[in-house]
Amino acid sequence: MIPASFDYVKAGSAEEAISLLTEHGEEAKILAGGHSLLPLMKLRLASPSVLIDVGRVRDLSYVRDAGNHVAVGALTRHHDVQTSAVLQESVPLVAHVAGLVGDPQVRHRGTIGGSVAHGDSASDLPAVALALGATFVIQGPSGTRSVPATSFFKGFLETDLAPDELLTEIQLPKMNGAGWSYQKFNRRAQDWAIVGVAAVGAAGGGGVALVNMASTPVRASAVEDLVRSGSSPEEAAAVAARDLDPPADLNASAEFRVHLATVLVRRALEEVAARQ
């Protein structure tokens, strides 16, 4: 399908992008890699009147060791996240999962910030950030603020970003050698996950987060509690879908997603234990 007509503006800096967002309000959308926004526009599920292209704002593309965490610029492309020596050493889960996003073309154009800001519950990296306890740095006309991942995802394709704000950085806590796992069930390698699980061992915070099991990426808090109490992977996985209302669509029923979550959480916890 063809998207509705729109104006196109190229921003040269984060400040210019924020100024343009303030000027155009809710009618404007940020364009980074475009792999999340453009499909919605083609389906007429999103019809912004102005696209603000930030793809060439190079000072938001970086991976830096920042002491107790790794700072990743929001416009860092998935391929650069995947191949970063800093992330491979300190936050290997993120580097690994970035290599599973889409296909090579998507990974060379799509950005980690675009994936997170889109807030899609079926996307890989938002759930990984949630499991790690990441912090998102947001810049707006009033300055900069930091939002924990647990407070960032608000609803279906809805985040804590205001219409005049820009996600500028993702702060990923170092994993300190903790075991980790990412389990993903899909039909083809480049497809969205029907269900996915990101898990980190206790040394890295002990987080477990689920992909495509609710309207947002979610922490499996019941699983985390059982793991901390010493339960086996099988026992902890049995409560993977507790208090969740997974979606039903052409790919899977809600019941099948519950089954997948149970199986994948068990596999993830077993792999975490094996990597400790």
pLDDT digits (tens, 9 = 90+) for 121-153: 999 999 999 999 999 999 999 999 999 999 999
Given its phi and psi angles, is residue 230 left (phi above 0), alpha (psi -120 to 50 degrees) or beta?
left
Among the listed ranges 80-89, 103-112, 122-131, 210-219, which one has the minimum average pLDDT value?
103-112
Q: What is the mean pLDDT of residues 106-128?
A: 93
Instruction: Give the span between the Cα atoms of 78 and 99, in whole angstroms.
Output: 7
What percentage of the chain reaches a pLDDT higher than 90? 78
State the DSSP code for 3.
Answer: P
3-state secondary structure of 250: coil
Mean per-residue pLDDT over the chain, rounded: 93
Q: How far apart are CA 275 and CA 37, in angstroms?
A: 37
- Which residues, in sequence order, are CB contacts of 265 under 8 Å at separation 6+? 183, 197, 199, 208, 210, 220, 223, 233, 236, 237, 240
Which of helix, strand or coil describes residue 219?
strand
Q: Is the pLDDT of residue 55 over 90?
A: no
pLDDT of residue 58: 87
Sign of CA pseudo-dihedral 59, 60, 62, 63:
positive
Cβ pair 198, 182 in contact under 8 A: yes
- Report phi then psi at 237, rounded to 5: -65, -25
| Exposure string for 180-207, b = 16+ CB within 10 A, e = fewer | bbbbbbbeeeeebbbbbbbbbbeebebb
Query: Which of 30-34, 170-174, 192-196, 234-238 has the weakest average pLDDT?
Result: 30-34
pLDDT (tens digit per residue) in 240-267: 999 999 999 999 999 999 999 999 999 9
What is the β-pairing status of strands 7-10 and 50-53?
parallel
In order of their start, the domains of the chain are 7-53 (3.30.43.10), 58-173 (3.30.465.10), 180-275 (3.30.390.50)
Residue with tokens 């005049």: 164
Over the stretch 36-52, which tens digit does the pLDDT of each residue have? 777 777 878 778 888 88
pLDDT confidence of residue 103: 84
The pTM score is 0.92
SS3 for 46?
coil
